[in-house]
Structure 1
Amino acid sequence: MDTMIEIPALRRMAELAPNSADIDARTVEVIWSAGARVRRSTLFGEPYDEELSLEPDHVRLDRLNAGAPFLKVHEVDTLDAVIGSVVPGSARIENGRGVAQVRISERADVEPIWRDIQAGHIRAVSIGYQVHRFEVSKPEAARELWRAVDWTPFEVSAVPVGADPAAGFRAQSPLHDCVLYRRDVPSTQTGAIPMTDKSNDPASDAETQAQKPTEPVETEGTTMTEPKPAAPDPKDAAAQTRAQPKPQKPDVAPAPDTEAVATRARETERDRVSTIYDLAGRLNLERSFAEELVKRGTDVDEARRLILEQVAAKSEETRTFSQVSIPLGGRDEQVTRRDAVANALLHRYSPTLFQLEDAARQYRGMTLMELARESLGNAGVNTRGLSRDEVATRALHSTSDFPEILSAVTNKTLRQAYEAYPRTFMLFCRQVLATDFKAMHRVQLGEAPQLLEVSESGEFKRGTLGESKESYRVKTYGRVVAITRQTLINDDLDAFTRIPAMYGNSIAQLESDVVWGIITANPAMADGNALFHNSHKNLAGTGAALDVTSVGTARAAMAKQTGLDKKTVLNVRPAFLIVPASLELKAEQLVAQNLVPAATASVVPQSIRTLAPISEPRLDAASETAWYLAASPNQIDTIEYAYLEGQQGAYIETRNGFDVDGVEIKCRLDFGAKAIDWRGLYKNPGA
């Protein structure tokens, strides 16, 4: 019994033999089929086994022997995907296996692939083939066996892992006819009707529709398509057909209009199915959602309504940005376009800070509304006839990439402003990373014990290290910025650029406030004394103006600092001269290298001229006369500041607004600081 169905081209794993590579001829042998039996699955029906017959009469080798293409991962839409071809006449059946030789292209971009094939890194190959006739049998107590007895291999592809996981044809892929021959299942058992003219038989048409493929299913390294569900249930259609009284004259041909009606019905059903799959795919909905609409027989108008409701439901969820797939040979087109639009907006905000890239020139001068319409159009949303308010609402609450573009603009302006703000404390403080928000304990190690003389046959004596402990923790600071649809409609670019830049400055100022607040507040250390205290020998007893004499006294005090044992001299050398803004000019004159005084007594020593001046206006609020010396954190601990690991600096998150009609941008900073050791700092109250 023969049954005609429509199926697309199929794919199956093959094998590359790198040890057969001929470097001079640039050829390599491919075992394109061994006829293995694989299991197939369908949406409607029991699984079955597929077997490719390798009898010479059952395989059409014409297309392979005519120089079939050797492709890159089954790409069929670009010429660059062709990386070679089958050597004409080399395809053959040998010892029950399909074998052929492939010649690799000499193009420069193919050379790395050829080297990987020679080295054995690329071994997996997949073939594309069409089946024209299956013999279907049903062994007892086993699955149905579909044996391909007439089939055509037509292309070979190099793939990374056996069969291409993404292989499979879209809903509009071309189909071809295939005959199912059931040799051991009587027609009375299956309810099938022998087909001589499939267009005249409604039941057979329903059965054919039930066999149409849609979704690829990966089984045992092979990608196979499944039957496409038609609106009516095939079994019901067949049952209704059998229930109808048979005509008295079976040889009488059907009325002329019957064939036209059946043809129109098939075309209408195909249009319905393809439209539903196309709409769901362009709006990035799940494939299963479209399959459910097709299975239920939903008409196109109702499907459009349900698809829009599904899109609206998804837009209420918090935005998450999945990883972007980068195709072989270049960046993802959507990512490239998104970066170009963001660059055009940033250049419009500040041409000096953000140079216009070549890819962004086409978007230069476009308003926010124009960019929103383009983003919706690229996502498959028709904006013709929509008002400015409707465009703004859909751009901020749809599957378009416009919210990601706005997020990139705000993120870059905020980061640029954050990094440009002068944080003077970073020169003499040490940065660390905190793994969590628990208190961090910093041990202040004492000096190593002095080595003692060991006499002949004497023992080595043990020593101990003194220690003191300081503790602090990382705290979280944050704010939320809302970008509303009114902002988009008004083309208010400042909301996406200047406001985030102001937040970037604010975050950097917060870090400076925390660190310099330690200097001005003079907090207590672990020993109970203030950071700058007479007992710590880092505070001048009498204030003195900033000059050579007072700086020399401070340098000597730091050099005389001792360890925790109160005996070992540490010889701490200052590296920075810290002054309030009111003393900035005085400090610069003191350490200037090009001043030659008239009197020898006025000469500034080289040791003082090597100090790096740091001017901080936050110190003026506490005292306009006090000045400080600080050692390098590489020599001794001074002040330590910490970020949460993985969250260094300002961190940005975005989501669709719930309380506001737009997009919410959250700025967060996880930061903490603490004075770890007083011996690397010195304070003079000034005159």
Structure 2
Amino acid sequence: MTRNIDLPPLTRAADLLPASIDAVERTIDVVWSTGARVRRNPFFGDPFDEELAMDPRAVRLDRLNAGAPLLKVHDASVLDSVIGSVVPGSARIENGRGIARVRFSDRAEVEPLWKDVEAGHIRAVSIGYQVHRFEVSRQAGAPELWRAVDWTPFEISAVPIGADPAAGFRAETSSESSLPLHPCVVHRADAPSKEKAAMDDAVTDNTETQTRQAAPEPQDRVPTTPVTDAETIAARARDSERERVGTIYDLAGRLHLERSFADDLVKRGVTLDAARSEILDKVATDAEKTRVSPQVSIPLGGRDERVTRRDAVSNALLHRYSPTLFPLSEPAREYRGMTLVEHAREFLSSSGVNVRGMSRDEIATRALHSTSDFPEVLAAVTGKTLRQAYDAYPRTYVPFCRQVLATDFKAMHRVQLGEAPQLVKVNEGGEFKRGTLAEGRESYRVETYGRVVAVTRQVLINDDLDAFTRIPAMYGTAIATLESDVVWGIILANAAMSDSIALFHQNHGNLANPATALSVTAIGAARAAMARQTGLDKKTILNVRPAYLIVPASLELAAEQLVAQNLVPAQTGNVVPSSIRTLTPISEPRLDAASLTAWYLAANPAQIDTIEYAYLEGQQGAYIETRNGFDVDGVEIKCRLDFGAKAIDWRGLYRNPGA
């Protein structure tokens, strides 16, 4: 069965790729969709699963590639909300993922947003899209699957929190009111029952609703006898108006809507069918403004007292751990001087447990094995300390490497594209000749690393807060160290690429021979060698330009002096060219273990692939999980990292063993 409906624009969460940022061009890559299946909960009707087809034939990229807007929180009502645009022609489908590059505006009011993106404070983005055709199928033991087989992404927005894909069809807000509905074809593989079809038609078929709104008022309420005089016509008009006004006020009162809303419908002369539609929309909008839990109704912007207390206790404990990193908030002041056992006692009391007469040991045991909020507070403390230590560790490989996300643990194959075929002259009336792209292939997979440590009830009794803070902090540092070991290990190991030749090798044209000390002349020779790198056809010149000078810690000072901008040499022959001063020095002490003299050049990964590192999608960086111990009397802390890396192309890297 196929029918037409009208749909509003929909939104989904998207991801910024921080490693792709270009500060000069003010651009950054966005993974705007992976087509993942999400649960939709419409205001009327049953929930269903929505899935976006990521086949290039299913996605209309015209609007993105034409320079679609980059908005601020999906606000399409004012021009000031446009903070940038999609780089024309950058939208594409790769390995089942939608990728595009966005450029931020140079306007002064956009500058703070761009700085926050550079600093990593703004990471969440969301995409707006329209669906033109759904294919609906049934799932065993699950809601219907609505698969979008024809759809258009039309804008990307920077948002404070990533869009919730389970939020369903959004009610119209002030910023969305100007966005019109659009037609969508819904095709069901197996026609539903008559009752289900009738319900669907009554709820979602906006086309039919609009037709009813445009049609005159039903005539079955009016006698079919011919009208004979003006007085009869006037009487019937009065009766019809009384019915319209009375029904509107009756519906508004029964649904607890404001009297002014009903007055407006009456004054505007809205027909009964149109009034019913507006009343339903009003009820839906009001319902979305309030979340209802079994205990209390919480307006958006308000907070449950339990959540507020959990956050305050977490902040007080973190402040004890590091006052400089975690300033004390105002709600946390009343918990500042309490011990871990005192916190446990209070949480047990608030959850209805009678703690009168309990010993410290009983309170510690009960708090760790209860439904109180105390274990959640400990989990929040461990997670924040781990993340803080993880973010603080210097990862020097990030500037010249490229980050991606892996959808699973299968081997990822990265195609190493060659140069485009050279254009050849076409004579008048001549035939265009076909060309081919050469390509190589590298593959790697994401590996899992992890460890579990137990924190016992003795820690609570002894008020040993360090066990809940220093252990996760050490985990965070260890994870960041492991990532650096994996990436820098690729350079130090100099393993063979897919062509069975080492990463740095004379056959690759990226290994100096003879080796020379770090100097202007040596860097010039290395830059020339990188510029002469050819495509896979061994003929096309790629003109690769280095952007980073990588040295061991022993050469850090020499590298900084070499690229310093403020040195004025006494002799003309000692002048450092501006092309070398633009190199960014990177010092890595792991390189000292292999050589105190070897130095490297690396290109910007936006120009050519160098080393690629990947996290499992949804598990970027350190992940920590806590649970009440079964084998131990306490809390178990599990730390996990899903990470992998591989050199993708040798042409963006160069090594000189040094003198």
TM-score, length-normalised on structure 2? 0.57
Q: Does 1:547 align with 2:545?
A: no
- C-alpha displacement at 1:529, in angstroms? 0.2
CA contact (8 A) 2:495 2:503 kept: yes
In the aligned structure 2, how far is the partner of 1:620 from the partner of 1:166? 59
Which of 398, 403, 411 in structure 2 is aligned with 1:439?
411
In the aligned structure 1, how far is the partner of 2:578 from the partner of 2:372? 63
Which of 632, 636, 641 in structure 1 is aligned with 2:608?
636
Cα 1:555/1:117, change in 2 over 3 Å: farther
- C-alpha displacement at 1:327, in angstroms? 5.0
- C-alpha displacement at 1:382, in angstroms? 1.3
What's 1:490 paired with? 462
CA contact (8 A) 2:552 2:589 kept: yes
What's 1:582 paired with? 554
What's 1:455 paired with? 427
- C-alpha displacement at 1:597, in angstroms? 0.7
Which of 523, 529, 535 in structure 1 is aligned with 2:507?
535
1:390-409 superposed matches below 5 A: 390-409=362-381
What's 1:412 paired with? 384
The alignment partner of 1:679 has SS state of helix
Instruction: Tell me how many residue pairs correspond in the alignment.
Output: 398
Which of 651, 658, 661 in structure 1 is aligned with 2:623?
651
- C-alpha displacement at 1:160, in angstroms? 3.2
CA contact (8 A) 2:316 2:335 kept: yes
What's 1:140 paired with? none
Cα 1:326/1:686, change in 2 over 3 Å: farther
CA contact (8 A) 2:534 2:541 kept: yes
What's 2:287 paired with? 160
Which of 528, 532, 544 in structure 2 is aligned with 1:572?
544
In the aligned structure 1, how far is the partner of 2:470 from the partner of 2:258? 55
- C-alpha displacement at 1:665, in angstroms? 1.3
- C-alpha displacement at 1:580, in angstroms? 0.2
AA partner of residue 310 (structure 2): R
Which of 375, 380, 384 in structure 1 is aligned with 2:356?
384
1:62-73 superposed matches below 5 A: none
In the aligned structure 2, how far is the partner of 1:513 from the partner of 1:528? 23
The alignment partner of 1:471 has SS state of strand
Q: Does 1:607 align with 2:570?
A: no
Cα 1:631/1:326, change in 2 over 3 Å: farther
AA partner of residue 455 (structure 1): N
Q: Does 1:513 align with 2:485?
A: yes
Deviations 1:378-405 (A, max 9, x none): 1111111000000000110001110000
In the aligned structure 1, how far is the partner of 2:643 from the partner of 2:293? 44
In the aligned structure 2, how far is the partner of 1:649 from the partner of 1:584? 28
Which of 649, 652, 655 in structure 2 is aligned with 1:680?
652
Which of 632, 636, 646 in structure 2 is aligned with 1:664?
636
Cα 1:398/1:105, change in 2 over 3 Å: farther
The alignment partner of 1:652 has SS state of strand
- C-alpha displacement at 1:119, in angstroms? 5.8
In the aligned structure 1, how far is the partner of 2:362 from the partner of 2:450? 32
Q: Does 1:523 align with 2:495?
A: yes
Cα 1:165/1:340, change in 2 over 3 Å: closer
1:318-397 superposed matches below 5 A: 328=300, 330-397=302-369
Cα 1:493/1:447, change in 2 over 3 Å: same
In the aligned structure 2, how far is the partner of 1:612 from the partner of 1:576? 5
- C-alpha displacement at 1:543, in angstroms? 1.2
CA contact (8 A) 1:117 1:123 kept: no
The alignment partner of 1:517 has SS state of helix
AA partner of residue 427 (structure 1): P
Runs of 4+ in 1 over 6 A off after TM superposition: 97-100, 164-167
- Structure showing greater radius of gyration is 1
What's 2:20 paired with? none
- C-alpha displacement at 1:120, in angstroms? 3.7
**Please, which runs of 5 or more residues in structure 2 have no aligned partner?**
1-245, 261-274
- C-alpha displacement at 1:104, in angstroms? 4.4
In the aligned structure 2, how far is the partner of 1:484 from the partner of 1:424? 37
In the aligned structure 1, how far is the partner of 2:257 from the partner of 2:416? 69
The alignment partner of 2:307 has SS state of helix
Cα 1:121/1:547, change in 2 over 3 Å: farther
AA partner of residue 535 (structure 2): G
1:63-102 superposed matches below 5 A: none
Cα 1:490/1:459, change in 2 over 3 Å: same
Cα 1:566/1:326, change in 2 over 3 Å: farther
CA contact (8 A) 2:252 2:258 kept: no
What's 2:441 paired with? 469
Cα 1:662/1:444, change in 2 over 3 Å: same
In the aligned structure 2, how far is the partner of 1:683 from the partner of 1:465? 28
What's 2:471 paired with? 499
CA contact (8 A) 2:413 2:444 kept: yes
Identity %: 76
In the aligned structure 2, how far is the partner of 1:511 from the partner of 1:99? 62
**Please, which runs of 5 or more residues in structure 1 have no aligned partner?**
1-93, 107-115, 126-157, 171-323
Which of 396, 407, 417 in structure 2 is aligned with 1:424?
396
TM-score, length-normalised on structure 1? 0.55
Cα 1:563/1:124, change in 2 over 3 Å: closer
- C-alpha displacement at 1:335, in angstroms? 1.3
In the aligned structure 2, how far is the partner of 1:363 from the partner of 1:671? 39
The alignment partner of 1:357 has SS state of coil
Deviations 1:55-113 (A, max 9, x none): xxxxxxxxxxxxxxxxxxxxxxxxxxxxxxxxxxxxxxx89x9788678499xxxxxxx
In the aligned structure 2, how far is the partner of 1:344 from the partner of 1:451? 67
